[in-house]
Amino acid sequence: MSEQQIFEKIKELIVKQMSLKNVNILMDTRLVKDLGADSVDLVGSVMTIEDVFGISIPDDELEGIETVGDVVKVVATNL
């Protein structure tokens, strides 16, 4: 699966998880500052992403995630 395919799926999951409408999500979109994600949104999104992609993301890899692109890289690394 390419990073672009991962990005498209993650974008879809984030929009659904956070009930976003009319938001343009890019690789450099910041989860907290740009999308207003809180800790519940982040945990829910991670759990959904792990289920959808069939992976387990180590906690230490979650600490540095700020942007959608960071999420894509972590998923790509763990696939």
Catalytic residues: 38
Q: How far apart are alpha carbons 73 and 22 in whole angstroms? A: 25
CB atoms within 10 A of CB 71: 25
Q: Tokens 């763990």, residue?
A: 78
